[in-house]
Structure 1
Amino acid sequence: MTIASLELASLLCSRLCHDLLSPVGALSNGLELLADEKDPEMRARCFELLEQSARASADKLRFFRLAFGAGGGFGEMIPWTEPRAVVDALAGANGRITVNWALAGEAMPKSAVKTLLNLALIGIEALVRGGTLDIAAEMRDVDGQASSEIVVRAAGARIAFDPTVGQALDGSLAPAALSSKTAPAFMIQQLAAGLGGTVQYHLSAEALVLGAMLPAA
């Protein structure tokens, strides 16, 4: 399965724009309402909605900067405080998802953080009725080589998981079927393969479990 880097970048940009459209659109609508509203109570409500939309936009931009971008401003290792903050903010906006963390050490390579964030995004989207998102990661010695091991488990009343996302994760998705929805999964599958690692998933009625093993570059 191959795809031009430019096409993948275009699909990731489409995904980012799609996810930002709602909060940015709410900002625009709120400003229009505020311009016409004279009632003090309603104006206060408009300001509250504007604040919520601005925060949601900023949270998503911070998340996608690390999940899709080059992670500028960081070295080869990214401290756990960064991915924890952006995942907690993204899940917190849902209001029905509880995130539990089990992280070893203080930092992980950029490739591992990027993979963790995209697996967490898939997990959050699977919890359409809320639930728990358990995230664990550690550095291990595998056959004499340092490797990052990541596990994300999404459990809830209903698990929604698009089979094409699973195909993108395991590398079986046809290039012609790639879309903005499956591009993040395809990206981390390619990232793992390039490092000699693997990405896996298992879906049951109770939970979606996603995992990755990434040798250090």
Structure 2
Amino acid sequence: MTISSLDLASLLCSRLCHDMLSPVGALTNGLELLSDEKDPEMRQRCFELLEQSARISADKLKFFRLAFGAAGGFGEMVSVTEARALVDALVGNNGRIEVNWALANESLPKPAVKTMLNLALIAIDSLVRGGTLDIGAEFRADENGQEASEIVVRATGARIAFDQDIGRALDGSLPDRELASRTAPSAMLRELASSLGGQLQWALSEDALVLGAVLPVA
């Protein structure tokens, strides 16, 4: 699978707009309600909803900045604490997902962090009824001295909702003409892994989705 940078960027922008529409729309609705509401208790409730929507919007923008964007504010290595905070904030706004972390290093190469965030996003989207999200990552050298990042993300819950076109985009078997905003992040990861000589894997069962990546250092 190959896709032009322009087409991929357009699809990623569509995905970003789709995910931001709900919290930004809630801000607009809240402001409209606030302008007409006179009751003090209801106005306080409006302020609380506005605060919640603003926080969710900010959390998503911070997440997508690193997951989709160039993230120019970061160096070649990114603190796993930063990545963990982004995922925890995203999951915290959901309320039905428990996250377990197993991070062996204090920092990871930027491509590995970008991959980890996107795999986590895919897993979060699959847990429509809630569940458990396990995320593990390690940066190490093999016996030949080749450095690589290994990432595993596992979503466990009732009725995993996973569009297998996302998996096909990850493994490169989805034709370009079938790419859409929902599969664009997977296509981006595939391009990223290919550029590094890395591999992406996925496996789906009735109650679990497992996503993995091995990314050598170029």
Q: 1:26-76 deviations in whole A, cap 9, x for unaligned?
A: 000000000010000000000000000000000000000010011111110
Name the CA distance, whole Å, in 2 between partners of 1:14 and 1:205: 30
Shift of 1:90: 0.6
Name the CA distance, whole Å, in 2 between partners of 1:173 and 1:65: 26
Q: 1:82-119 deviations in whole A, cap 9, x for unaligned?
A: 11011001111110000100001110000000000000
Name the CA distance, whole Å, in 1 between partners of 2:189 and 2:134: 19
Shift of 1:2: 1.2
Give the aligned residue type for 2:44.
A
Give the aligned residue type for 1:63.
F
Alignment length (residue pairs): 217
Give the aligned residue type for 1:204.
S
Give the aligned residue type for 1:30.
G
Which residues in structure 2 correspond to 1:99-178 (within 5 Å)? Answer: 99-142=99-142, 143-178=144-179
- The answer for the alignment partner of 1:24 in structure 2 is 24
TM-score by length of 2: 0.98
Name the CA distance, whole Å, in 2 between partners of 1:78 and 1:140: 15
Name the CA distance, whole Å, in 1 between partners of 2:92 and 2:170: 25
Give the aligned residue type for 2:40.
P
Name the CA distance, whole Å, in 2 between partners of 1:144 and 1:161: 37
Shift of 1:158: 1.5
Shift >6 Å, 4+ stretches: none
Name the CA distance, whole Å, in 1 between partners of 2:95 and 2:40: 28
- The answer for the alignment partner of 1:69 in structure 2 is 69
Residue 216, structure 1, aligned to residue 217, structure 2: yes
Q: Secondary structure at the match of 2:93?
A: helix
Shift of 1:144: 2.5
- The answer for the alignment partner of 2:47 in structure 1 is 47
Name the CA distance, whole Å, in 2 between partners of 1:84 and 1:95: 16
Let me know the Cα RMSD of the aligned residues. Answer: 0.7
Q: Provide structure 1 residue ranges, at least 5 long, that are not aligned to the other structure.
A: none
Q: Provide structure 2 residue ranges, at least 5 long, that are not aligned to the other structure.
A: none
Give the aligned residue type for 2:170.
L
Shift of 1:140: 2.1
Shift of 1:81: 1.2
Give the aligned residue type for 2:39.
D
Give the aligned residue type for 1:113.
V
TM-score by length of 1: 0.99
- The answer for the alignment partner of 1:87 in structure 2 is 87
Name the CA distance, whole Å, in 2 between partners of 1:205 and 1:145: 36
Name the CA distance, whole Å, in 1 between partners of 2:190 and 2:8: 13
Q: Secondary structure at the match of 2:189?
A: helix
